[in-house]
A and B are shown apart, each in its own frame.
Chain A
Amino acid sequence: MAQDIITIFHGPQHPGITGNMSVELDLLGETIKRAETHVGYLHRGFEKMIERRTVLQAFTIVCRICVPEPDPNEENFARGVEELMGLEVPEKAKWLRTMVLEMARLQAQMLWFAGQGGSLGHYISPQWAVADRDLILDLFEELTGGRVYHMYITPGGVRRDLPEGFLGRLGHFLDYLESRLPEYDNMLLRNPVFLERARGVGIIDPATAREYGVVGPNLRACGFMNDIRKDEPYEMYGEVDFIVPTETSGDVYGRAMVRRAEIEQSISILRQIIRRMPAEKEIMAVLPKNHRKWEVPKGDTLVKTESARGEYSYYMVGDGTDKLRRVQVKGPSAVHAITLLEEMLVDSQLSDVAMIMNSLGTNPPEIER
């Protein structure tokens, strides 16, 4: 067998993505002739685990489906259960949920930022971004008791009320982050080398985006306005003002700019939340006392949340017992990092693989939930 091509593996441990995932590449020189994604390094059978647990027990593990941004899972699960059981969530809990979701989006974008710089060998960006993300995690720690996995948004409400002075500290942090943003721009997003690398690479054209069902910032970078927060507002998103940034280039740079603009939008949303946070104490709906008594009525529901990577949906079926009959989790990465990536990588270069993967916001655990 004459060997025109060589086969190498990119990953599974890799700065391009948060989580373990490998791409098998056939290369001629450094040009990719075939790409095949290998997932399964993180498979833990979450859907089955949820089906074996009571609702209350199950809510603590859904956050683990997505490491960089766990809260949309909790939100989806909680909202789905509430819809099935017909629970009424107090308004303050809704505000708190919105706040947590936006904080989570903010820290997920910071983590993306870290990867985007790191995948180009620009080691300031990961260090800065992760350091600033840690400040959000500090706030999370205060609010929820956990830094990464919060287990905060529970069916029926949220688990804890705001600590003393929390909103003030959040406001301080937002001011700090806003002052840092121009520095981030200077460091990476306006860096001439970054522009050279990112422009015109990893292009998703609008037709492909539609065909593959691309969502979130990746779709918005192709010129489509698509955001669950606007299209089907949940929690308090109908109450706050924000815009959905779009770009038209569809390349790595376009996606970076969309995410960069979303950081600003998140800051603005969080400021509005701070201003409008109600003072009341009620944060939980009236719930059965024993967790074994949480009987989910028959019925099914599809709940969607806009995560930092796009539409994140749960399809949930209740069958009248205390356990859910079926839960189907659909994260955006399954589209982006499997089907689309395999297509996008063909004829691109090995040097760009990590950058493209990161710009798609790939997150393997939500592929193999």
Chain B
Amino acid sequence: MVSALAVFFLGTHKIIRELLSIVSLALLTGLLLMRIVSPVSDDFTWQYMPGFFTLSFSLSSFGLLFALIAAISGLLKSFASWGINSKGYHALFHLMMGGLMILLSAGDYISFFLGWEIMTWSSFMLFNNFSSADDPIEKSQDTGFLFITLSLISALLMLGVLFFLYNRTGSMNIADGVAWLHGVKGLPSWIPGLLLMSAFFLKSGLLPFHVWVPGTYREAPHTFTAFLSAALSKVGIYAFILFFLPFSLNEGSGQISYLIAWIGAITATVATFKAIEQNDMKGLLAYSSIGQMAYVFTAMAVGSSLAMGGALFQMVNHSLIKLLLFFIVAGIIERTGKTRFDQLGGLIYKMPFSFIGVLVGIIALAGMPPLSGFYGKWMIYTSLIEKGWLLVLTGIVLPSTAAFIYCYKLIYGIFLGHPTEVNPEEAKEISPRYRVPSGLLMASIVLLGLFPGLILKPVNVLLSDLGMETLALTSQGSLNAASGSVSGFMVMNVFGGVFAVILILLSLFGKKAPTRNLHRLDIAYAGELPTEQTPLHYGRGLGHEVKRVAIAGAIVKRSLTEKYMKIGNQLGGILEHVRGFYPGNGQVSLIMTMVGAAAVALLIGLKG
């Protein structure tokens, strides 16, 4: 992948101006899009120590999808963060993009691992050095510590398994390793499989490795959080597809798929109840991301074409929604300087665009028709019913219903209710550099809701690449499954039509019975008169009582983070040592680490 490397070098050495960043990302996007239009094979191999092994790069259709998501996210993100970042930030961001591209097009273990590590380390430095937290030093140490510890564990696990595979197969090619992994039945394949899976779960933030996500998302630069959620969390899915998808299709692996499905459902439940409990916008969205990613894993575990389609739909949707929501949240934080629900409120008529954006976002996030979010869920649910996994279905219905609460909390806490710390007279709509990408994202969410079939064409390509049956495509507006179909086009039109009719009816009444708009404090308040000082904004309290529900209470009270920190403190000596590697200068330590990792890899590889 020439383009990836081009961006990589461009990023590390030259970028000072924002324009270049955008142009390069646009270039990358364009190149990727061209791949779709004209499928030119640009497999690229690089002989390393000739005769010994090669680094091979080839972009599969899956890789292409993920690369596209990443590239478009990156492009929009760069646009949104116009002019607020320093040089180092850009360098790191592009380094990370490069790493991501390497990872996505990797054909062998070395390049896979290399890409993985570049991405991890550069993203770590991004959020650690350019943290948005109020007190970066105090906060980030815990978060960074957690992140880096877990990343190291995952890297070590992966490294070990990869070289175990190399040892077994004698080939550095991923495809060979995967084939071996699927060929061997029973315990020998399970242990490396599970270890490897843990590494991927960690990247996507699945239980029990989700603990790094909220802190990281909260403290990362606002727009970078959007990218983290929209693109980086998908890497785990890519790796999972790469290594395990055929595995989960295998008839003999019923239990392990079932286990993965349940891990997805439980992760979603835990994350959702945690999200409800959050008091700051980014924390809420972070837990929501964990939950949404978990649905994808559940769907992939089901393994049918419909489920895969649902998983991919859900994934694309999630990228769109989270970019949209994080952009708007970033815009609001930039305008108001407030991050928590108890500090905001009552901004709806001052920030109508943001309100509509968040409304579209939460409708899609909650999976309500007629927007796109529903159709991913619909495919997942239908596939679960067709598969007969009704208990898993129940397991994911619980979080997706509970998700309504945090969705409502998000929109209520910011826009509805009463203003608290932000004077609505002084509030201004978010800046255009957030508005433009948000508008595009909103349009695409609505478009996908209107024509959910649009996604089926690319999905079918991917499915046939995987050797699975393709999904029936009757029209752009509808989705079909063996057991039923749904027409997004009709749903949207019927809803819109009825809405319009009733609106007209209500307006007709408006002539005879006009609406008298009241002051916001002129409300039913038990006969008392509230003043400006009366606390009336329910942003903090909303969802606070959910933990009285037995199941939610059990989840919210427990904190895995604390447990990990305890273990971490016990292992403190060793881990502190590892942290010693990091001398403060990002690039230096990055290079050092990569060199070190490569050396270790080589050594193990030579021995094997």
Enumerate chain A interface residues (CB-CB to B < 8 A): 1-13, 22, 26-31, 349
In the complex, the answer to whether A12 meets B527 with C-beta atoms within 8 Å is: yes
With A3-B420, A27-B541 already in contact, the answer to whether A9 and B528 are too (CB < 8 A) is yes
The interface-forming segment of B50-58, B131-139, B222-230, B530-538 is B530-538
A5 near B544 (CB under 8 angstroms)? Answer: no
Name which of A2, A3, A11, A13 has the most chain B CB atoms within 10 A of its CB. A3
- Can you report 7 A-B residue pairs in the complex whose CB atoms are below 8 A from each other? A4-B540, A5-B535, A7-B535, A8-B525, A29-B540, A29-B542, A349-B545
Task: List the 10 closest pairs (A to B, CB-CB), nearest first.
Answer: A29-B544, A9-B526, A29-B541, A29-B545, A3-B535, A2-B342, A3-B420, A30-B545, A9-B528, A3-B537
B354 within 8 Å of A (CB atoms): no
The reply to whether A3 and B526 form a contact with Cβ atoms under 8 Å apart is: no
Residues of A within 8 A of B538 (CB): 6
Does A6 contact B537, Cβ atoms closer than 8 Å?
yes
A30 in contact with B535 given A2-B343, A2-B420, A9-B528 (CB within 8 Å): no
Min CB gap A197→B, angstroms: 14
Chain B residues lying within 8 Å of A7, measured Cβ to Cβ, are 534-536
Q: List residues of chain B with CB within 8 A of the CB of A22.
A: 526-528
Task: Tell me if B90 counts as interface (CB < 8 A to partner A).
Answer: no
Q: In the complex the two chains form, is A6's CB within 8 Å of B535's CB?
A: yes
Q: A1-B420, A3-B420, A4-B540 are in contact. Are A31 and B545 (CB under 8 A)?
A: yes
Given known A3-B420, A7-B536, contact A12–B526 (CB-CB < 8 A): yes
Q: Are A6 and B421 in contact (CB under 8 A)?
A: no
Assess the A3–B525 pair: CB atoms within 8 A.
no
Residue picked from B420, B538, B543, most chain A C-beta under 10 Å = B538
Report A-chain residues with C-beta under 8 Å of the C-beta of B193: none
Interface size class of B (residues with CB under 8 A): 20 to 34
Residue of B343, B542, B544 contacting most chain A CB atoms (<10 Å): B544
B452: interface (CB < 8 Å): no
State the CA gap A13–B524 with chains docked (Å): 13
* A30→B536 CA distance, assembly (Å): 13
Which of A3, A11, A31 sits near B544, CB closer than 8 Å? A31
Tell me the B356-370 residues at the A interface (CB within 8 Å). Answer: none
B540 engages A3 (CB within 8 Å): yes
Shortest C-beta distance, B553 to chain A (Å), equals: 13
Give the contacting residue for A2; candidates B421, B527, B541; CB below 8 A: B421
- Contacts A28-B541, A29-B545, A30-B541: A4 and B525 contacting too (C-beta < 8 A)? no
A30 proximity list for chain B (CB < 8 A): 541, 544-545
B residues at A contact (CB < 8 Å): 340, 342-343, 345, 420-421, 525-528, 534-545
Alpha-carbon distance A13/B542, docked complex (angstroms): 26
What are the residues of chain A within 8 A of B535 when measuring CB–CB? 1, 3, 5-7, 26
- Inside 8 A of B421's CB, which chain A residues have their CB? 1-2
Which A residues lie within 8 Å of B539 (CB)?
Answer: 3
A10–B536 CB distance below 8 A = no
The interface residues of chain B lying within 8 Å CB-to-CB of A12 are 526-527
Q: Are B527 and A9 in contact (CB under 8 A)?
A: yes
B229 to chain A, nearest CB (A): 26
Q: How far is the CA of A12 from the CA of B536 in the complex (A)?
A: 19
Interface centre among B343, B345, B420, B526 (most CB of A within 10 A): B526
Smallest CB gap from A12: residue in B: B527
B342 contacts A4, C-beta separation under 8 Å? yes
* Bound form: Cα–Cα A349–B343 in Å: 24
A29–B537 Cα distance when bound, in Å, is 11
Complex CA distance for A250 and B419, rounded to whole angstroms: 42
Collect the chain B residues with CB atoms within 8 Å of residue A13's CB.
527
In addition to A3-B540, A5-B535, 20 A-B residue pairs with Cβ atoms within 8 Å of each other are A1-B421, A1-B535, A2-B340, A2-B342, A2-B343, A2-B420, A2-B540, A3-B345, A3-B539, A5-B541, A6-B537, A6-B541, A7-B536, A9-B527, A9-B528, A26-B535, A28-B540, A29-B544, A30-B541, A30-B544
**Hey, which chain A residues are within 8 Å of B543, CB to CB?**
29
Closest to B533 in A: A1
Instruction: Name B537's closest neighbour in chain A (CB-CB).
Output: A3
Q: Chain B residues with Cβ under 8 A from A5's Cβ?
A: 535, 540-541
Cβ contacts under 8 Å, A1 to chain B: 420-421, 535
B528 → chain A closest CB, angstroms? 5
Nearest CB on B from A233, distance (A): 44
Chain A residues in 8 Å Cβ range of B528: 9, 22
Measured CB to CB, the closest approach of chain B to A353, in angstroms, equals: 12
Query: How close is B278's CB to chain A, nearest CB, in angstroms?
Result: 14
A68 to B280, CA, bound (A): 49
List, in ascending order, chain A residues with CB within 8 A of B420's CB. 1-3
CA distance A27 to B541 in the complex (A): 8
Chain A residue nearest to B419 (CB atoms) is: A3
B342 touches A28 (CB 8 A): no
Query: How far, in angstroms, from A22 to B528 measured CA to CA in the complex?
Result: 10
Query: Nearest Cβ in chain B — how far from A294, in angstroms?
Result: 42
